[in-house]
Every structure is written in C-alpha cells, then in structure tokens.
A and B are shown apart, each in its own frame.
Chain A
C-alpha cells in the first residue's frame, strides 16, 4: 500500500480526532484526564499489541487499532491509579487475541476493559458528565467528519444506534409529557458521542452485513435505554454493548456476510492481513 492509500484509512482521521480530544481534555477542558494514566494506557496497549502480534504470528505490527483503543480508553475511563489504567489497556488488547469466535474478536476491546475494571474495582469509573455543551458540539462536528470521510460506509451501527437511541429518548419524553429540552440534553453528552463514533462503530466487533449491523444497533440502543432509563443505572450504552456483543456471531450466522478488513474499501480486494488488529 502506498502512503496516499494508507492515509485514506479512516483510522488516521479517528486517531487525529481522538488525540486532539485527549489533548484538549488535558490542557483546556478539565475532563479529569491524568497525563500519567494516558501514558500508561497508550504504552501498555502498544506493547501488548506488539507481543500479541508476535505470538499470533501476524506478518506485521499494526499500531493503529491499539492507538484508537487506548485513546478511547483515555477519554472515557477514569481511575486514580495509573496501574489500573495500564491494566485496562492490557485487558483491552489481550482480549482481541484471546476471545475470538470464527476469526473475529467478540468484545470491543475498550468496552470490555472499562466494564471489567468498573465491575471489579472501586478505583475505576466513567465521567460521563465531563463535557460541556461547547465541547460536545465540537466533538459532534469532528465525529460527523468520520461519516463524510468513510462515505457512510459501515456507519450503520453509529447512525443506527444514535437514531434508535434518540427515538427512544424522544418517545419517553413524549410519554412522560416532558419538554423536548430533556431528551436533547440527554443526547448532548460527549461520552455518548465517543461511544457511538469510536466504540460501537468498530467494524471488527460488529456484524458483517448491513442488515445485521442495523439490527445490532437497534439492539444496543434499546438495551442501553433499558439500563439507563428503566433500571436507572448509569452508563447504559457501555453496559449494553458488552451485554449484546455475544449476539454478534449469532447475527452473523443469520445474515451471513464477510469479515471486515480495515481499509478494504480503499484497496483492491486484498489478500489482506488477517487476525487481530
């Protein structure tokens, strides 16, 4: 692949967006991101990916996916101990190599790490409210760029999730007789956007066919809605994704498609690199 083809890989854009968010988060917006945690997460993720690639006998070390995972983790995951941050990165990347069905990993790495650590430790949490409306607006614009860049290919999960989730929130507001300001406020959440554009969108852990992905996004949205607004537990989307991930192979079986390879749509049908990325 030459450089220009490579640069069309949407992951470069994703990394750019995530890295600038992390930088703003540390310097200006007071997201509560600790520099030492960011360093611990990124370095552990790259190290584990490197070791995993060697062990799995992959032809080359691909730093892009672990970078996206670690930047998503840095943005969403909070802990007061750098060692927990490193542990999260370890769980995330290691899961890609260890938990696989039919050649695909099942759980979104960052998602699995966040849930595992939150459930098992008092020192791990998510600060979903740490985005002012200004930051959320900027993030929304940056995220929309991804859809433009990928010409909305494989964006069904993101668009589907946000669409179904918004529908449920507006429906709830209508049923309760609440003003529209409430569902709009609920949607103006930076963590929700990071989830929709950088976590659920992961083509490696979503169904292979368009119909499957649309069905899956509806499933995640409704589970998230139940967790957050019926059971009144925080972080509905994060827990919904982990709960529904094991259904992806089932959906794949029902819809039958082909597994995703990064940058596939910008290169000729490739003898692409298989395996964990």
Chain B
C-alpha cells in the first residue's frame, strides 16, 4: 500500500558559499530548515482574497508511492496549478533564516570607548533601498483530472467523507485512521480535495530526481492552512514553516498565540560551531514555554533589503515564480518601470504542532505591522592580542560579560551552565604585579 502523505516534509541542505558582509558584523551561520527533521515548508502569497500556495516536499522513497491530499477552498482548474522551482523556496529559506553574527573586540588600549554598533532596524540603508531585486462511484466525483509537470492531479468532491475514504483506499492509498471525520468536516465546510501523485513517466522525461513543489492559485475568503489531516497519524510533533509574502505587513495567526523568539542575544563564541544545536534547543525550550501552542515569528522584513543578510533578497523573477502576482501585474503595465523598493513583506513563521495543542487549522491575518524583526544571535570575541596597557579592567569586564552570556545561554537553551562555562575561554585575571614585563617599560610611553 502506498503511504498517503498529507503534509509535505522538507529536509534539505544548501551549501552556503556566501559569507555576506553585513552592515555591521559578519554573517557566519544560519539556522535553516534543514535543522529540523520532518519539517514542511509552505509559501503563502496573499493580497485581498487572492492566494498562491506553494508546498515543498522532501518525500524520500519510491516516487511511485507518493501521493498528497490537500484540502482546498474551491474547485481548482488546470490553469490554477503549477509546478514550482524548489530553488526559490531554498532561497527564501536561506534569506529568512535565523542568523549568527560575530564581532571582534578592538584593542582595548586603543579604543577605550568601544562604540556599540547599533542596528537601525527601521529604515533600509539607501543602497539597499534603491536596489530592485526583489467517474461517479462511491458517491465521489472526480471533478477534474490533469497532468501538470510530473504530477497527476485529481480534484475530488464528495457528498460523504466515507466515499472519499473508500476511493482512496480502493486506489491503494493508506488513509490514516480518523481521517474520515476530518475529511467529513472539510467537505461540510465546502472544501474540495486536491490529490497529486507522481506520474513516473513524466518525471523521467523531465529528468528530475526529486519532487518539485506544487503551486495552487485560488481566490477565497479563507486565509488558512489545513493542518488537521497531518496531525492524525503523527506520532510526534511536526515542524512547519510558513513563509507569507504580502503587501501590507506582517502575517500572524488569529487563533493561536504569535510569539517572537528571543533575538539580538549575545552568546558565547563556541556557539558559532554549535549554532544548529543552539537554535534547536532554544526553539524547543521556547516552544515549551509557550505551552507547546505558540506560533513563532522567525523573520519579518521588507523584501527589498536585509541586514545582516543570510542570503540576498529574492529577485522580482523569483518572487513572481513563487506567485507574487502583483509584481507580475505591475511589470506588464509599466514596461519601463523605474527601480523601486519592492512591495513585498515577508513573514517567516515556525510552528511545532501536534493534535493535542493545535486542534484547529491555522487561521491567519495580515496586519499593518511593517516593523522589521529577525532572529539574530551575536558572538563578541574578546580582544586576544598583545596590548600596550593594563588590561585588568578590560579582563574583569570581559569575565563579567562572558559569565552573563553563559547564564543567558543556559536560560535560553536549558543547557547546564557549568558545561557552558567549561567551554568558554575566560581571560585570566592577572594583575599588573604579575605582569612579567617590568614596570618601567611603560613608564615613559
């Protein structure tokens, strides 16, 4: 029997060749979705009632076994379905990932008053701002059937959920127990079912070795994501990333608490090599603190810039391929358009869900909030070089700072503070008297 995959899972790795130089500090690592097992990624483009949804999947196994069933709010015609380019989602993931930045303390003897580099999160630097990147049986009706790319698509409507379940079972799909009730509920809410399975011949012809994301465009009052089917047979919590691309501002859930993850936190230097572990454990702890029912904001930013950049903003072409239809409209009506700031705001939401804590589907709304937010974690390396002055005070301050970072890290991740301390290179507190250089060497500086 073929497994019925109801929610796509995405695990992938992207080689990060960019070490993009940022406005203030260097981008060194990011926590992309590859950190989390069985994570699904969905891009939701929405303006008014027009919606384009792109679903990434990382199905591993024999593609012949692959099928996905998605509830959709309306009848979907051939032209409303497209097969997208996975690279676009990868790029969006990279662009919106939580990031680690590092700074190096200057020589404390030369720069006594270290200037804190403050990030202006409210306005883009002008160079970025100007940049334009960016058979009726069993009571079920197959309303449409067509092939798009390597997928065979069926649009099903049914009077009764049992009919649909029987049809799926009869066609060799393993339907999770309890699906009948959920499907029945969706049917009564006027939703249709979209079934996609891989057409192996087409896939061979196209030459793809992986499954490309499916895209569906529709118009509906419902700004939601059906997650109930996906929770039916899940033994554990699942991770879902929603990238919302909108015109006005940040997207949030109206029926679950939206939580901002702690950001702009100073962390010890060793986190640089353990960034993935750090982020995973921090996220787990924050999710727990929100009673496992929070929807976490990981990124909210105007698509025309970034700082620091984990990846370049998406180009107009990439955004259009993800379904940002208003960009397409504008460029066809204004052929000689001047460079402009992109009219696209991206929100990245990370949800760890299970049936117990997320009984309902996710319902979203677009807010007017255009305040930028990013998951940003900072490593500040203490000055290690030789110095021409007494470093006692600097070392004391550094020890205090590193101790604070250790405690903060313990709070964020739940790691043992003593283990953290053992991995931190605290400067030794040598007094001037212990200094092997004779006192007179600095007498006539």
Contacts and interface: CB of A to CB of B under 8 A. Distances in A.
Given A177-B181, A185-B360, A125 B259 contact: no
Nearest to A31: B257
A80 B253 contact: no
B345 to A, nearest CB: 11
Contacts of B255: 128-129, 185-186, 189
Contacts, number: 77
A122 B369 contact: no
A124 B257 CA distance: 19
Contacts of A125: 365, 367-369
B412 to A, nearest CB: 16
Interface in A105-135: 121-125, 127-134
A133 B222 contact: no
B404 interface: no
Contacts of A231: 221
A121 B369 CA distance: 12
A123 B250 CA distance: 11
B71 interface: no
A30 B257 CA distance: 10
A233 interface: yes
B359 A185 contact: yes
B258 A122 contact: no
A234 B254 contact: yes
Interface string B250-266: 00111111111000000
Nearest to A135: B257
A80 B300 CA distance: 14
Nearest to B295: A129
Interface string A151-194: 00000000000000000000000011111011011100100000
User: Which of B185, B254, B295 has the most chain A CB atoms closer than 10 A to its own CB?
Assistant: B254
B249 interface: yes
B221 A129 contact: no
B291 A132 contact: yes
A78 interface: yes
Contacts of B323: none
A176 to B, nearest CB: 4
Interface residues of B, number: 34
Contacts of A177: 181, 184-185, 188
A79 interface: yes
A78 B369 contact: yes
Interface residues of A, number: 33
A187 B369 CA distance: 26
A192 B254 CA distance: 11
Contact of A129 (B222, B248, B258): B258
Contacts of A134: 291
Interface in A78-98: 78-80
Contacts of B360: 182, 185-186
A200 B51 CA distance: 34
Given A122-B368, A123-B368, A132 B293 contact: yes
A179 B221 contact: no
Nearest to B161: A177
Interface in A38-58: none
User: Which of A121, A124, A127, A235 has the most chain B CB atoms closer than 10 A to its own CB?
Assistant: A127
27 contacts: A78-B367, A79-B368, A121-B368, A125-B367, A125-B369, A127-B252, A127-B258, A129-B252, A129-B254, A129-B256, A130-B258, A132-B291, A132-B294, A133-B291, A133-B293, A176-B189, A178-B185, A179-B181, A179-B359, A185-B255, A185-B359, A186-B255, A231-B221, A232-B220, A232-B221, A232-B224, A234-B365
Interface of A: 30, 78-80, 121-125, 127-134, 175-179, 181-182, 184-186, 189, 231-235
Given A130-B258, A232-B221, 17 more contacts: A30-B259, A80-B369, A125-B369, A127-B367, A129-B252, A129-B253, A129-B255, A129-B256, A129-B295, A132-B293, A176-B185, A177-B188, A179-B359, A181-B359, A185-B359, A189-B255, A232-B220
Kindly list the 10 A-B residue pairs having the minimum CB-CB distance in the complex, ordered from nearest: A181-B359, A176-B185, A232-B221, A123-B368, A125-B367, A122-B368, A232-B222, A128-B254, A129-B254, A132-B257
Interface of B: 181, 184-185, 188-189, 220-222, 224, 248-249, 252-260, 290-291, 293-295, 359-360, 363, 365, 367-371
